[in-house]
Chains A and B, each alone.
Chain A
Amino acid sequence: MLVRLRPVAFILVLLVIWQIAISSHPGQLLPGPWQTLRGIGDLLQHGLLLKYVVASLFRVTWGFLLAAAIAIPLGLTIGWYSRAEMAFNPLVQIFRPISPLAWIPIAILWFGVGDLSAIFLIFVGCFFSLLLTAMSAVHNIPDVYINVGRNFGLSTPAFIYRVLYPAVAPQLIVGLRITLGIAWLVVVAAEMIAVNSGLGFLIVDARNAGNRYDLVVAGMVVIGLIGLLLDLAMRSLEQVKSFRWGFPEN
């Protein structure tokens, strides 16, 4: 129990140091923790915080799920057929290093300013990462599992459901977890430009409309906390019994 509290205690110490540093240098460089907390309180009072969090999560959910729904089956198929992989791999490698933010002008051109643009940017950010995960996950299936599946005379759908899917599931979960992190990074950036709600918008808006840096930092803290919760949620999937074989004991 005490060990679990250690990170919390450490954060508290840092907060105290932050507060002390701010009080001894009363400039405008950064709001202190107390101001930030009051900022969060302000946002809560006006009902903005919940509204913006919901807006951001809504976009992430759609962009992320769409990407997963398309990239995972596609990646598994490409990975399964080595010829398809040879054809697609260079293309994927070219697209992958392009930051999703580079797509912002095109997103606005295609979808205008609004939710669709933001969702599209998240989709692009998640798509290539998930595609690669799925491709390499198929690659890494030991031949033995495939041969056993063939040996027991499974039909193709049964093979996919009973051998292919369980064999790749642990790797897909890791990929999904990392990608959800990417989605959460992208949504903030997308909201700064393409929409007028959400946590990213909150940060830009707080600065533009009167230099409310307490709200800026409040937004950052909320983004960090929600990111942490999303990661914990994905991590808990790794504990599912039939997936756990794919992860090191902890």
Chain B
Amino acid sequence: MDHVRKIFERDGNSISVLEDISLDVRNGEFICLVGPSGCGKSTLLNVMGGFLSPTSGSVAIDGETVQGPDPRRILVFQERGVFPWLTVEGNIGFGLSKLSDAERKQRIAHYVQLVRLQGFEHSYPSDLSGGMKQRLQVARALAVNPDILYLDEPFGALDSVTRFIMRGELLRIWQTERRTIIFVTHDIDEAVQLADRVVVLSSRPAKIQDVLTIDIEHPRNLSSPRYLELRDQLAQKIGLAFSA
């Protein structure tokens, strides 16, 4: 059971970016954070990941306060997240140096297969497409067996067709691996298609404006009335967020 709760403001030049944000996330849940761009979604994710410390309030996971970055929670970045000097294998094995050679090889092989990069084990990222690089980043994150995966607009730099495919891939991976996922996006379809719950943030300083539960079983039919209804609801809420 994950118990994430935070109340804080962050001072850059004493600009309040996040205000009094409290949220409980269940183990294995898929949460999407949506909100207007520049509202502080990434800041929130960085605080949850331990990269930034909150001005006040705290983040706790399984009752343990987050003090800094930790391999039990891995952040996946929008782009440039993979190491260009390592091959696909090297990247996936990056966090596995403590394992024995045999175990590491096995783990790498497993995740190469999971993200469907077979045949590219010895390729460098410069030879991969944008979608493949993001899959590689997800594989590297999953390989260290984290409890939580934070994804910061992971498909934001991809073209729309690739994004669509990647959503399907991420769902498939999530269903086989069952990690808690917190996913930042500004794409309404992405949120409704992926999340168990969508957290709508207001514009800066970000507050939780609403939490929308998406009560449709996977695989989701993207033209079912319920899907379209929720999608419209979310759009409306985000519209409110923009004017708020």
- Which residues of A are interface residues toward B (Cβ below 8 A)? 142, 144-145, 147-148, 150-153, 158, 162-163, 166-167, 169, 241-246
B70 touches A153 (CB 8 A): yes
B88 to chain A, nearest CB (A): 13
B86 touches A151 (CB 8 A): no
B80 touches A152 (CB 8 A): no
B124 touches A241 (CB 8 A): yes
B74 touches A151 (CB 8 A): yes
Which listed residue (A158, A163, A245) contacts B124, Cβ 8 A?
Answer: A245
B85 touches A167 (CB 8 A): yes
How many angstroms from the CA of A242 to the CA of B83 in the assembled complex?
Answer: 10
A144 touches B77 (CB 8 A): yes
A151 touches B85 (CB 8 A): no
Chain A residue contacts of B80, Cβ below 8 A? 142, 144-145
| Known interface pairs A158-B97, A245-B84, A245-B126; 16 further A-B residue pairs with C-beta atoms within 8 A, sorted by A's residue number | A144-B77, A144-B80, A145-B83, A147-B75, A147-B77, A150-B69, A151-B71, A151-B74, A152-B74, A152-B94, A153-B70, A153-B71, A166-B85, A245-B85, A245-B124, A245-B125
How many angstroms from the CA of A169 to the CA of B70 in the assembled complex?
Answer: 27
**What mask results when residues 166 to 185 of chain B are scored 1 for a CB within 8 Å of chain A, else 0?**
00000000000000000000
Chain B residue contacts of A166, Cβ below 8 A? 83, 85-86
B142 to chain A, nearest CB (A): 12
Chain B residue contacts of A244, Cβ below 8 A? 124, 126
Q: Which 7 A-B pairs have the closest CB atoms?
A: A245-B84, A166-B85, A152-B95, A153-B71, A150-B69, A242-B85, A151-B69
Residue of A nearest to B90 (CB): A242
How many angstroms from the CA of A235 to the CA of B109 in the assembled complex?
Answer: 35
- Give 22 CB contacts A-B under 8 Å: A142-B80, A144-B77, A147-B69, A147-B75, A148-B81, A148-B83, A148-B94, A150-B51, A150-B68, A151-B71, A152-B95, A152-B144, A166-B83, A166-B85, A169-B85, A242-B85, A244-B124, A245-B84, A245-B85, A245-B124, A245-B125, A246-B84
Chain A residue contacts of B144, Cβ below 8 A? 152
Q: Which of B54-103 contact A (CB under 8 A)?
A: 68-71, 74-75, 77, 80-81, 83-86, 94-95, 97
How many angstroms from the CA of A243 to the CA of B124 in the assembled complex?
Answer: 11
B40 touches A (CB below 8 Å): no
A82 to chain B, nearest CB (A): 17
How many angstroms from the CA of A166 to the CA of B124 in the assembled complex?
Answer: 14
B157 to chain A, nearest CB (A): 12
B35 touches A (CB below 8 Å): no
Chain B residue contacts of A142, Cβ below 8 A? 80
